[in-house]
A and B are shown apart, each in its own frame.
Chain A
Amino acid sequence: MTKLSSLLSGIIFGLGLTISGMVNPQKVLGFLNIFGDWDPSLMFVMVGAIIIFSPLHFTFKRKSRPFFAQSFIIPSKKDIDKSLILGAILFGIGWGLVGLCPGPAISAISFLNINVYIFVLFMFIGFYLGNLLLLKK
């Protein structure tokens, strides 16, 4: 059953990314271009997602367990470490270079653009290298 809800959730997530325009790297770069011609849309996307998810998930978590799983899986780490900051900075540079982050990159696979495939391939190589580094620690 978790497979069905995963697929459904992915589809709605993908629709949201598409309707909001976030599958367009040019629009994302427009948001990051604060000192030039600025497109604030991405901020509205985040706010929209947070105002739905935040209250609903808190309410649900207090009252219930997940329907198809034993318990909630929520990160327990609290400390602000070097790898969090360094990771966010490196991600921010990559994001600013072409305007793709993981969600929209995966959704953009549907546009049959070879450059998207190359990006996704190297993103997965990046995951793999990051994983190697984390395992070493």
Chain B
Amino acid sequence: MNIINFTPYSALTGGLLIGFAAFIFFIFNGRLSGVSSIASDSIIKNENRYDNILFLFGLIIGPILYSLSGNKVESVLTNSLPLIIVAGLLVGFGTKIGNGCTSGHGVCGISRFSIRSIIATISFILTGVVTVLIFGI
């Protein structure tokens, strides 16, 4: 194992902001900011539908504000269409039946000391590690 590209300060700063965003959503809306649930509930009729859509809209505005303030944002995604399609389906289906993703289980769930979330987070990180080990970056 070699450690490369490690950016502890920006990672921690971004993380603190994410925690703060989750806190705002919690104290005002009384809800946990699990993005997979917010996203999947934005396509079905429910009382929070427009809150969900606005939260997602905010997620899109975030990077735009950051680049407008003169910062460079890097984002490199594979060009392989089959990989993108399969991964998209797996991420959507998996987080739906598993009740959460990196934010819902990984951040909010672990913060609440939820055993379900701790187990889910360990499971998806381990599976992610094995997947990268097999398929490469």
Contacts and interface: CB of A to CB of B under 8 A. Distances in A.
Interface residues of B, number: 109
Contact of A16 (B16, B90, B131, B137): B16
B122 to A, nearest CB: 8
Nearest to B36: A102
A85 B78 contact: no
Contacts of B29: 2, 5-6, 9, 66, 68-69
Interface string B84-98: 111111111111111
Secondary structure class of chain A's binding surface, majority of residues: helix
A61 B20 CA distance: 15
A98 B98 contact: no
A22 B4 CA distance: 15
B125 to A, nearest CB: 7
B7 to A, nearest CB: 5
A98 B30 CA distance: 33
Given A12-B21, A119-B84, A101 B111 contact: no
Nearest to A119: B88
Given A14-B61, A100-B87, 5 more contacts: A11-B59, A17-B14, A26-B137, A120-B88, A130-B97
Contacts of B66: 15, 18-19
